[in-house]
Homo-oligomer: A and B are copies of this chain.
Amino acid sequence: MAQDKKQVEQITDMEVDFAKWFTDVCKKAELIDYSSIKGMFILRPYGYAIWENFQKILDGKFKETGHENVYLPMLIPESLLQKEKDHVEGFAPECAWVTYGGSEKLEERYCIRPTSETLFCEHYANIIHSHRDLPKLYNQWCSVLRWEKTSRPFLRHREFLWQEGHTMHATAEEAIAETEQMFNIYADFCEHYLAMPVVKGRKTDKEKFAGAEATYTVECMMHDKKALQAGTSHYFGDGFARAFDITFAGKDNQPHHPFQTSWGVSTRLIGGVIMTHGDNNGLVLPPRIAPIQVIIIPVAQHKEGVLEANQAVMNRLKAAGIRVKMDDSDQSAGWKFAEYEMKGVPLRLELGPKDMEKNQCVLVRRDNGEKSFVSLDSIEETVQAMLDAVQQGLYDKAKKNLDENTYACSSLEEVKERMSTQGGFAKTMWCGDLECELKMKEEAGVSSRCIPLEQEHLSDVCPVCGKPARHMVYWGVAY
C-alpha cells in the first residue's frame, strides 16, 4: 500500500495551494500534457472524452433549437479584422500572425482566428439577400488562438477548443430572444449536467465583449470562492452588419440591416468542473458528463467465477446505457482504488466471492466515500439512482458554497474587508459609472462579475460615490 498511498500524496493539498493542487489534478488524472510551446496544451484521451460528452449534449441542444453547424477558415486577413473598430481593438493585441506561405512572404498578414465574428459577417454578406434568408442560425466547433502572456491548464490556453454560435435575425427583438435563449441553455447545462450552480446576469460596459451591445454571462463560484465566467452570449445590434454592409430586402421591399448574436463556451468549463467538485484525492466528476460512470473492480479475481460474475454485471449496466469499465489488470486493489479516485469516477463497484454468495455487490460513492452493500437483483436501477444521488449531492454542495459566500455589502470598505477574509461574491448597489467600477477594482481588488437578472434593492445609493444607485452588482476575484 506504500506505493498506492504515494500516488495520492503526490497531489498538493488544496487548502495549502489551490493553484498547485489544480495543475496536479490536471496532470495526475491524465487530462492534460504540456507541449513545447508555452500555453499550448495537449488534451489527453480522458480530458478529451469529457469534452466529447460536453459536445454531444450541447450539440443536441443547439440542433433542437434549429441551429446548423458550419466550418469557416481559421485565418482572417488583417483588413477583414479591422472592419469593426471596437472588435479589432479588443483582439488585435493577442493575435498570432501568419506572414509566410511556404517560402513566400504574404502580401497581407493573416491572423489565426481569436473568434470568428468577422469571418461569419463576410460570409453572411454573401448569402443573406432577402428576409426569406433569415434567420441564419449557425454554430461552429473549432479551436481559436489568443496569444496571452500567462497560461494555465483549461483556464487560459493560447489555443483552446470551443463552440461559437453566430446568428443573424430580421429584428432586434428576435436577436435579443436568441441571445437570451442560448444564455439559458448554458445556464441549464452548467446546473443540470456540470452540477455547477450559476449566477445569471449581464456584463457591465467595461466587461462586455469587444463590439457587443450587451453580453450575458453565466458566473460560477469555484471551491476557492473565486469566480469563473462559464459562458457568454452577446447581442450585437446591427453594428457589425453595418460595418460589413450586410443588407436584406424586407417584406416591405426596402433594404435593412440584420441583427446579430454570438455565444460560446470552451474547454475552460472543464477547469470549472475540476475546481468546483475536486478534492484532495483528485478529480470528482458529475455522473452526467463522466467518461466512466462506474468502475468495476473484481475482488479476488483469480478465484473461480469472479471475473465472469463481474463481466455479467458490466454487461447488464452497459445494456442499461450506463458508461462502465472493468479493471481486471494485475495492479493491486489499492492502486486501482487510488487511480479511479484520482480520475473522479462517480461510483466504484466491487464484487468478490463473498458478495457472489449473497447475490450482492459493494458500491462506493466518489463524492462522499459512502459505502453500501446492494442486491444484484435490480443493480441497473440501484446504480442509476446512486448516480443521480451523486449528481444531486455535488450540486447541493456547490450551491451551499455559493450561498454561504455571497453577501451584501453597503460600503467599499466592507467589500474590501470581507473579500480579504472570506472571498466569494460581494453584492452591492452601483450607480453605473465606470469610475466607481474602477475604484472597486483598485481598492478592493474585485471586478464586476455581472448585473444579475434577479435584482435586489439593497439601498438607494452607490457605496462608492454616494450617488443614486441604478443596479445591484456582484463583485469577485475572477479566473
Contacts and interface: CB of A to CB of B under 8 A. Distances in A.
Interface of A: 33, 35-37, 40-45, 48-49, 51-52, 68-75, 77, 80, 92-103, 109-110, 112, 119, 122-123, 126-127, 138, 142-143, 145, 147, 159, 161
Given A75-B159, A80-B36, A68 B45 contact: yes
Given A75-B159, A159-B73, A35 B122 contact: yes
Contact of A98 (B68, B77, B97, B142): B97
Contact of A70 (B45, B69, B74): B45
A94 B102 contact: yes
A123 B80 contact: no
A367 to B, nearest CB: 26
Given A37-B75, A42-B73, A49-B69, 13 more contacts: A35-B123, A36-B122, A37-B73, A37-B77, A48-B70, A48-B71, A51-B71, A52-B69, A93-B102, A96-B100, A97-B99, A98-B99, A142-B143
Contacts of A69: 45, 48-49, 52
A222 to B, nearest CB: 24
29 contacts: A33-B123, A35-B72, A35-B123, A36-B80, A36-B122, A37-B110, A40-B73, A42-B73, A43-B71, A43-B72, A44-B70, A45-B68, A48-B68, A49-B69, A51-B71, A74-B112, A75-B159, A93-B103, A94-B102, A95-B102, A96-B100, A96-B101, A96-B102, A97-B98, A97-B99, A98-B99, A99-B100, A100-B109, A101-B147
A167 to B, nearest CB: 13
A98 B101 contact: no
A100 B102 contact: no
Contact of A127 (B33, B37, B94): B33
Nearest to A143: B74
Given A36-B77, A80-B36, A71 B100 contact: no
Contacts of A99: 97-100
A99 B110 CA distance: 11
A113 to B, nearest CB: 11
Contacts of A147: 101-102
Contacts of A72: 35, 42-43
Contact of A161 (B35, B71, B93, B126): B71
Contacts of A109: 100
B112 A112 contact: yes
A42 B123 contact: yes
A93 B103 CA distance: 7
A147 B105 CA distance: 12
A72 B161 CA distance: 11
B73 A35 contact: yes
Nearest to A291: B68
Contacts of A142: 143
Q: Which of A77, A98, A161 has the most CB of B within 10 A?
A: A98
Nearest to A106: B96
A71 B267 CA distance: 11
A37 to B, nearest CB: 6
A179 to B, nearest CB: 21
A73 B145 CA distance: 10
B123 A75 contact: no
Contacts of A97: 98-101
Given A68-B49, A97-B99, A103-B93, A40 B75 contact: yes
A44 B68 CA distance: 9
A70 B42 contact: yes
A119 B77 CA distance: 27
